[in-house]
Structure 1
Amino acid sequence: MMNLTQQKNSVSLQNLYDFKCKENGSPHFWTPQELDAHEYTFGGDFGISETISRVLSLADVLEVEVGAYIGEFIRKLDEKTTDGIVGKLLKAFIKDEAVHAHQIKYALQTYPVSDWHRNEAALINEEWKSAGGHPLQKSSTLEVGVFLGCSLPILLRLGGHSLLWVSEMIAKDEFLHVAGGRGILNKLNYGAVDNLIRLQRKTVAYITEKLNIPSQHFGFEVNTDWFLQQSNELIVSGSSAPLTRWTDISIYRAKFENSNKFMY
Structure 2
Amino acid sequence: MKLSKAWPQFAETWIENWPDGLLSLSFPHIGIRLEEREVHALVALNGIGDHCIDRRREEDLYALEAKLDGAISHFPPGAFIRLGSRSPKDTVHGVITQCKAFDGRQAIRLLTSGSEIVAFDLRTARKASYQPWVFVRQWVDISPEMEFRCFMKNRHLIGVSQYFYQTSFPALDSQEIRNTIKALLDEFFTDFSKVSPLDNVIFDVALFLDKKPQVMLVEINPFHPLTQACLFSWNTSDFDGGFRFTQSESKPESFMDFFPLFK
TM-score, normalization by structure 1? 0.27
Larger Rg: 2
Judging by fraction of residues, say which structure has more helix: 1
Judging by fraction of residues, say which structure has more strand: 2
Q: Which has the higher contact order (CA 8 A, sep 6+)?
A: 1
